[in-house]
Amino acid sequence: MTAAIDAVGLGRRYAGPDGDITALSGVDLHIDAGEWVGIVGRSGAGKTTMLQLLGALDRGYDGSLRIGGVELKNLKDRALSEFRNGHIGFVFQAFNLLPDLSVGANVTMPAHFGAGMPQAEATHRGRELLAQVGLPDVWNKRPLTLSGGQRQRVAIARALLLRPALLLCDEPTGALDTKTAAAVLELFSELRQAHGTTLVLVTHDDEVKERCPRVLTLDGGRLVADERRPL
């Protein structure tokens, strides 16, 4: 699958104690397969809400959202999780590494869910990705023994394991120094060129924003700017 994204009138409301909270509303958006798109906006603007929708983590939306032509709200639970595991990679703020498993087991985890990558290949690719993010020696360690920036890189390696058609990142370089952040962006860029991966990333970082050929700005749950520029 290649992951083009089509949203029409996309919105998300959450039930609050004093009525609904509108986290996102009226978003019309097309993203081509293989595009690299940044999302910016102040705290509470709806950025994470948007990523959760694009990541098939949340079907409770208004309007239409298609990824690779598939309307996500029409999928049943199991089909939705298969879709997610097969096509989407995540790098989220909390990293979500499993503390009782080694780094190696965390990174190769996506291969265990019927994704069609044999264990030997997963191990090989996992080791290669860890080396690419500057962590050649952590395979047997537990995530909790690593620094925040190291954990973030483990989460990035895990997200790239299955070469997802769509890679979604929430502040992917937030815990990284400038040099490591540049290496991670380079890795994303290579993946995109080699596999046509669609990249959507939320960032507050100007250097990351500079790398994005297209930048969306959210404000109060609305898409208020959609800028493209030559790099």
Ligand X SMILES: Nc1ncnc2c1ncn2[C@@H]1O[C@H](COP(=O)(O)OP(=O)(O)OP(=O)(O)O)[C@@H](O)[C@H]1O
Rounded to the nearest whole angstrom, what is the least distance from the CB of residue 38 to ligand X in the complex?
A: 13
Q: Where are the beta strands (DSSP E) in 32-190?
A: 36-40, 62-67, 70-71, 88-91, 166-170
Closest CB 197 distance from ligand X, rounded Å: 22
Task: Using CB under 6 A, pick the residue from 44, 63, 134, 196 that binds ligand X.
Answer: 44
> How far apart are the C-alpha atoms of 102 and 51, rounded to whole Å?
27
Q: Is 5 in the site for ligand X (CB under 6 A)?
A: no
Q: Cβ contacts of residue 195 below 8 Å, gap of 6+?
A: 163, 165
Under the binding rule (CB under 5 A), the answer on residue 64 touching Mg ion is no
Cβ nearer to ligand X, comparing 46 with 126:
46
Q: Does 2 bind Mg ion (CB under 5 A)?
A: no
- The length of the chain is 231
Q: Within 13 Å and on the Cβ side, how many CA atoms surround 205? A: 20
- Dihedral of CA 12/188/133/121: which sign? positive
Residue 49, interface with ligand X (CB under 6 A)? yes
Say which residue the tokens 């996992």 belong to. Answer: 126
Shortest gap between Cβ of 41 and ligand X (angstroms)?
A: 6
Q: Which is nearer to Mg ion, 47 or 87 (CB)?
A: 47
Q: Is 14 in the site for ligand X (CB under 6 A)?
A: yes
Closest CA to 195 of 55, 89, 57: 89
**Extended strands (E) in 106-213:** 166-170, 198-202
Nearest distance from residue 61's CB to ligand X, in Å?
A: 13
- Selected from 3, 5, 37, 46, the binder of ligand X by CB under 6 A is 46
* Residue reference for tokens 């290669």: 128
Q: Is 47 in the site for ligand X (CB under 6 A)?
A: yes
Q: Does 211 bind ligand X (CB under 6 A)?
A: no
Tell me which of 48, 81, 102, 189 binds Mg ion, using CB under 5 A: 48
The pair of three-digit structure tokens given for residue 10, joined into one six-digit string: 């996309």
Q: Under the rule (CB under 6 A), what is the footprint of ligand X?
A: 14, 16, 21, 23, 41, 43-49
